[in-house]
């Protein structure tokens, strides 16, 4: 059997890895537009600040592709899905019994005058262009204070920039980490000297028009969301509803074509969710049982603090604080009907690791013990 994976992000590479780990012994090809598949979370952090170069953020070392018998076709785009294969931009037709679309997404650019000149951050090339203007003293406007925007703002301050961070939402990430922690996280920007503005941007012409009027900036960065890349799928007649429509096995409306990652997911999720998509796609191709579902998890690093969240905080009907917001490390648990449904933590990652097991295994938790920092959370996992 021939499998061709289109796209070398975490979803595509995870599909390849899971296929081989599951015993797939057919031909396996990964087509990627870049130099090699790399990890994207560092693009707004260590790669943007120059602490790590592209080689240091490779998703797999170069020899991995040989060791795993994965044929990597780099610096190439797939231009069409054809019966029995995929067509590359030079006209080559790669035979494929199964195609896995891992085409990711592009940065959203809202229809605001001058928006096309703003920086975005999806690729290493985007990060290279942005880094070139994040010089000490540069005045930078970051639009959007979610994960990418907050991380870029943090990195820009690290690089000596004067940063204005604009978002119309008072407490970005509140749905993911809860209102209190979201407010605390957003306040960290001001502590680092960032000016936060609760407003959208009306225009990017001649600087930017914010709530207080027109201001000049050396660079504007947009971190306002992602647009799934579905052009190949649409051209091939697959069902697309903003993202490529897939079933629980990642199969599209064409049984020979699967889709994973940002271009396909119908639910919320980040880096790990893309990895899980790849594992499910591989299981489908192998005819193996799908991996068990797991609560969504993400991390973000900003202003020297490591933040993690798991589950669905918006589902919680009460929260329990473990520690204090003034502590070096603390966490918040979200409960519903006596079960943990979410947790978010600052510099307390094992609280999230405990919580994700409580969620996935539906282990009831005593709120008083959850909230007592003296109680080892591991003991709450035991029957």
Partner 1 sequence: MTDGIRVAALDDVPEGEGIAIDKAIIGTEDNVALLRDTDGGLWALNDTCTHEDASLADGWVEDGYVECPLHSSKFCLKNGEVQGLPATRDTCPHRVEVRDGEVYLFPNQTP
Minimum distance of partner 1 from residue 32's CB (angstroms): 16
Smallest CA-to-CA distance from 31 within 41, 44, 16 is with: 16
Q: Is 49 in the site for partner 1 (CB under 8 A)?
A: no
Q: Is 372 in the site for partner 1 (CB under 8 A)?
A: no
Two tokens, residue 279: 């594992």
C-beta closer to partner 1: residue 62 or 237: 62
Stretch that binds partner 1, among 109-117, 131-139, 260-268, 345-353 (CB under 8 A): 345-353
Largest Cα–Cα separation, the chain: 64
Q: Is 353 in the site for partner 1 (CB under 8 A)?
A: yes
Stretch that binds partner 1, among 7-15, 95-103, 194-202, 221-229 (CB under 8 A): 7-15
CA dihedral (248, 250, 256, 262) positive or negative: positive
Minimum distance of partner 1 from residue 39's CB (angstroms): 6
Among 22, 200, 349, 373, binds partner 1 (CB under 8 A): 349
Minimum distance of partner 1 from residue 208's CB (angstroms): 34
Q: Is 330 in the site for partner 1 (CB under 8 A)?
A: no
Strands 27-31 and 2-6: parallel
Two tokens, residue 283: 């299981």
CB atoms under 10 Å from CB of 142, counted, come to: 31
For tokens 């003293």, name the residue: 137
CA atoms of 204 and 201, how far apart (whole Å):
7
Stretch that binds partner 1, among 6-14, 102-110, 151-159, 182-190 (CB under 8 A): 6-14
Among 39, 162, 218, 327, binds partner 1 (CB under 8 A): 39
Among 4, 5, 11, 13, binds partner 1 (CB under 8 A): 13
Cβ–Cβ under 8 Å, residues 77 and 89:
yes
SS3 assignment, position 273 = helix
CA atoms of 214 and 208, how far apart (whole Å):
6
Cβ–Cβ under 8 Å, residues 335 and 317:
yes
Minimum distance of partner 1 from residue 171's CB (angstroms): 25
CA atoms of 43 and 58, how far apart (whole Å):
12
C-beta closer to partner 1: residue 204 or 297: 297
Q: Is 218 in the site for partner 1 (CB under 8 A)?
A: no
Among 61, 249, 291, 338, binds partner 1 (CB under 8 A): 61
SS3 assignment, position 132 = helix
Taking the mean position of all CA atoms in its chain, how far away is CA 116? 23
Among 162, 180, 218, 272, binds partner 1 (CB under 8 A): 272
CA atoms of 332 and 313, how far apart (whole Å):
10
Q: Is 299 in the site for partner 1 (CB under 8 A)?
A: yes
Q: Is 60 in the site for partner 1 (CB under 8 A)?
A: yes
C-beta closer to partner 1: residue 62 or 113: 62
Smallest CA-to-CA distance from 257 within 288, 226, 235 is with: 235
Strands 162-166 and 195-197: parallel
Minimum distance of partner 1 from residue 48's CB (angstroms): 15
How many residues would you count in the chain?
383
Minimum distance of partner 1 from residue 353's CB (angstroms): 4
Taking the mean position of all CA atoms in its chain, how far away is CA 177? 16
Minimum distance of partner 1 from residue 167's CB (angstroms): 26
C-beta closer to partner 1: residue 64 or 184: 64
Stretch that binds partner 1, among 86-94, 100-108, 112-120, 346-354 (CB under 8 A): 346-354
Which positions touch partner 1 (CB under 8 A)?
A: 10, 13-14, 17, 39, 41, 58-61, 64, 272, 275, 297, 299, 306, 349-350, 353-354, 376, 378
């Amino acid at each position: 059997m021939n499998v061709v994976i289109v796209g070398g992000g975490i979803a595509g590479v995870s599909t390849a890895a899971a296929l081989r780990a599951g015993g797939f012994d057919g031909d396996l090809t990964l087509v990627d537009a870049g130099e090699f598949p790399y990890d994207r979370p560092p693009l707004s952090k260590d790669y943007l600040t120059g602490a790590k170069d592209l080689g240091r953020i490779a998703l797999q070392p170069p020899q991995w592709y040989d060791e795993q018998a994965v044929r990597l076709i780099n610096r190439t785009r797939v231009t069409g899905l054809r019966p029995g294969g995929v067509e590359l931009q030079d006209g080559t037709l790669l035979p494929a019994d199964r195609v896995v679309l891992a085409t990711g997404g592009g940065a959203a650019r809202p229809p605001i005058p001058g928006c096309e000149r703003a920086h975005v951050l999806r690729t290493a090339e985007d990060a290279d262009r942005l880094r070139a203007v994040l010089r000490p003293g540069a005045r930078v406007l970051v639009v959007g204070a979610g994960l990418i925007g907050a991380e870029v703002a943090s990195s820009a301050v690290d690089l000596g920039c004067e940063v204005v961070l604009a978002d119309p939402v008072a407490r970005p990430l509140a749905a993911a980490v809860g209102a209190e922690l979201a407010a605390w996280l957003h306040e960290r920007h001001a502590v680092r000297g960032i000016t936060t503005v609760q407003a959208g941007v009306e225009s990017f012409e001649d600087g930017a028009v914010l709530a207080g009027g027109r201001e000049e900036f050396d660079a504007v960065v947009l971190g306002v969301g992602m647009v799934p890349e579905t052009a190949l799928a649409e051209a091939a007649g697959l069902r697309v509803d903003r993202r490529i429509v897939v079933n629980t096995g990642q199969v599209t409306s064409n049984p020979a074509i699967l889709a994973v990652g940002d271009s396909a997911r119908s639910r919320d999720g980040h880096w790990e969710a893309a990895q899980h998509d790849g594992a499910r796609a591989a299981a489908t191709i192998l005819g193996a049982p799908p991996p068990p579902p797991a609560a969504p998890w993400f991390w973000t690093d900003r202003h020297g603090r490591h933040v993690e969240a798991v589950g669905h905080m918006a589902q919680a009907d009460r929260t329990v604080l473990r520690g204090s917001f003034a502590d070096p490390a603390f966490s918040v648990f979200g409960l519903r009907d006596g079960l943990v449904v979410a947790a978010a933590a600052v510099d307390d990652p094992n609280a999230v690791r405990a919580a994700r097991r409580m969620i996935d295994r539906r282990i009831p938790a005593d709120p008083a013990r959850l909230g007592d920092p003296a109680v080892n959370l591991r003991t709450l996992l035991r029957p």
